Amino acid sequence: MNALIVAHEGRLLARSGALWAVLGLLALALGFAAWSGGRNVERQLRGANDAIAYEDGERARMRRDTEIYAAQVAASGGAYEFAMVRHSPGKGPPQGTNAGAVGAETSAYVALPPTGLAALAIGQSDVQLNYLPVQMGTTLEMIKQVEIENPVNLQTGPLDVAFVIIFLLPIFILAMTYDLLSSEKERGTLAMILAHPVSLRELLASKIAARAVAVLVVVIGFGFAALLTVGSQLDQAETWWRFAAWIVATLLYATFWFAVAVLVNLRGRSSATNGTILAGIWLMLVVIVPNLVSLVATTAFPAPSRMDLIVAARDAQTEAENSMGQALDRFYSEHTDHIPVGDQRAMDFLTLAQANAASIEKALLPLYQRFRDQILLQEGLVQRFQYLSPAIMMQSALNEVSGTSTGRYQDFVEQATRFRYEWNGWFAERFLRREPLRPADYDLFPKFQYRPEPTATVWARLWPSLLGLLVVCLGVVSAPMVGMRRLEVAAR
């Protein structure tokens, strides 16, 4: 590196106008992407909060009913009783006293909290719902909300900072470097420079440095600004190590593209040819290879379609209903409010419904397992094939640091599934004992507490991508060192 050449290049760039156009567009894209990412996170949080608030409201209403009922019972000196399931209001114990009704008719929404960097990479979060409904009955209702047929998909989704970095940053870098050496050669200044005691390596390194500083100041600066404006949890160390990893990944990715430009320039071809070759490389690594990997992953390990799941659930339900037998039972199962009060059948029906759900759930378990396995296989395949393109490694790394990776989401789904069993168990147990819910019981409902993954787990998924980027960078950076020794400034 040569400070004189860096300063000289800086002056030339500043005077050319092209630099300002490139940096301006980059800044504009990053600013818009950060705003868009921030909005996306806000929308998700609002969605989750609305759902949770609605269900909390429903339960609060039921609780108020039980409080009124408890007061009536206390005043009249009667017994606090268990309500039949019914939809029409009337006398007698309110629905809120029935644990089965409360557990089945209101959902507990569980939400995956965003990380501090969520706004920087939307990742899979636009196709994977960040909050899931937890109900009694079967896991099906919850699983149906999980996007099961969407493997790592790099092409779709709203504009975010990750998109700008993965897709657009290489274009901006190549626009500034495709003629790094060829323009000096075509202008005739290369011979003038190299008649001085300056090595080609020093010249290239300095020219790259001047451009890299300009580009990276904008990218890192905007990344930092985005974190401060649309990021969150700035008081937590986790946010900052995630951001540090974001910077490392971005630097590695940018280095890769700068090095590719140098490598192509060292072939000694014209600026126009260099531009074409570099555009081809971009298309290959950023568009074609990631799409092929995605295609291979979904073809090799296709997830059973959501329709399969629903059809299987219906079959299981039909079978359960058949074993339930009687037409009257079926009629009552569809018209619970017509069950005569005090009829033993009403009591039996509630137990039957629970048994029914349990048998459907049991029938569906292997299917859930298959979904989970296929997603993991797809994810594993993408993880293995990511080394084919720095763009996939970068997407993988940015999703991971932003907490929008498939891995983190799967962990959340598993936590939600475990919570659903807990929820189901809590209500089913009270209901099967015909134990009426009292107002105070409402405080005892299971509560979902998201347990963040251990840092080591996150790093275990993150480091292969970062290491892969590093290795690719070292390879591409060291290749010019070899080519440079052979290059002759003046050919024949």
Q: Which residues bind other proteins (CB under 8 A)?
A: 4-5, 8, 11-12, 15-16, 187-189, 191-199, 488-492
Residue 12 CB, nearest distance to other proteins (Å)?
A: 6
Comparing CB distances to other proteins, the nearer of 46 and 187 is 187
- Per the listing, tokens 């070292």 go with 474
Residue 153 CB, nearest distance to other proteins (Å)?
A: 45
Comparing CB distances to other proteins, the nearer of 206 and 386 is 206
Length of the chain equals 492
Structure tokens given for 143: 């699983």
Comparing CB distances to other proteins, the nearer of 13 and 152 is 13
Residue 201 CB, nearest distance to other proteins (Å)?
A: 11
- State the DSSP code for 134: E
Round to whole Å and give the CA distance between 60 and 428: 20
Contact 116/231 with Cβ under 8 angstroms?
yes
Comparing CB distances to other proteins, the nearer of 15 and 362 is 15
Half-sphere exposure of 137 (CA within 13 A, CB side): 18
Comparing CB distances to other proteins, the nearer of 91 and 485 is 485
Contact 402/226 with Cβ under 8 angstroms?
no
Residue 193 CB, nearest distance to other proteins (Å)?
A: 7
Residue 1 CB, nearest distance to other proteins (Å)?
A: 14
Comparing CB distances to other proteins, the nearer of 91 and 492 is 492
Amino acid code (one letter) for 372: R
Round to whole Å and give the CA distance between 346 and 332: 8
Residue 177 CB, nearest distance to other proteins (Å)?
A: 18
Residue 207 CB, nearest distance to other proteins (Å)?
A: 13
Contact 131/109 with Cβ under 8 angstroms?
yes
Q: 49: Cβ–Cβ under 8 A, 6 or more apart, which residues?
A: none
Q: What sign results for the dihedral spanned by CA atoms 317, 318, 319, 322? A: positive
Phi then psi for residue 236, to 5 deg, are: -105, 140
Comparing CB distances to other proteins, the nearer of 189 and 305 is 189
Q: What is the dihedral of CA 221, 227, 230, 235, to 10 degrees?
A: -150
